[in-house]
Amino acid sequence: MKAYKGFDKDLKCRGHQYEIGKTYEEESADICNTGYHACERPLDVFTYYPPATSRYCDVELDANEQKSDDSKRVGKRIKIGAEIGITGIVKAQIEYVKEQTTREQTAGDSGAATAGYRGAATAGYRGAATAGDSGAATAGDSGAATAGNYGAATAGDYGAATAGNYGAATAGD
C-alpha cells in the first residue's frame, strides 16, 4: 500500500537508519511495537515527526490489518521511496482528500469549506477553507486557508494561509 513515513533529520526512525530506495524486512509486525510503521493519510506523519525537525518520504508498505487510532499502519516489509518534504506531504494530502471525497463535499468558486479534527477542506477561487488539528486546508486564488496544530494550509495568488503549532503554511504571490 502507498503510505508516508517521517524520520528525524538523519533519516532515522526509532534508532534504525534508513536509505532512500532500499527495502527492509522484519519477522513480525505489531502496531506501535514491532515492524515498520507509516501513515495512509499524509498529514498524520506530523503527529509523529514535527515539520521543523523532520524528513518525509513516500513508501510502499506491506501492511497487515492492524490500524492505530489515526491512519498509522504496520507491516513486515517497507520500501523507502522518494524524499518529498513538507511540500510533498501537503500535495499528497490534497490528492488523498480528492480521492476520499465527492464533488458535493468540497466548495466551488466563492464557496467555503470546513473540516474537523484530522479533516481536510478545499475551496475554489475566492473561497475559504479551515481544518482542525492535523488537518489540511487549501483555497484558490484570493482565498484564505487555515489549519490547526500539526496541520497544513495553502492558498493561491493573493491568498492567505495560516497554520498552528508544528504546522506548515504557504501562500502565493
> In this predicted model, what pLDDT tens digit does every residue of 85-141 receive, in sequence order?
999 999 999 999 999 887 654 555 555 566 656 666 666 655 566 666 666 677 666
| Whole-number Å distance between alpha carbons of 113 and 27 | 44
Q: For 107, which DSSP code?
A: B
- The tens digit of pLDDT for each residue in 36-90 reads 999 999 999 999 999 999 999 999 999 888 888 889 999 999 999 999 999 999 9
**Domain ranges in the chain?**
2-90, 103-167
| pTM to 2 decimal places | 0.60
**Which grid coordinates belong to 62?**
506491506
Contact 120, 136 (CB under 8 A): yes
Contact 50, 150 (CB under 8 A): yes
| Whole-number Å distance between alpha carbons of 41 and 32 | 17
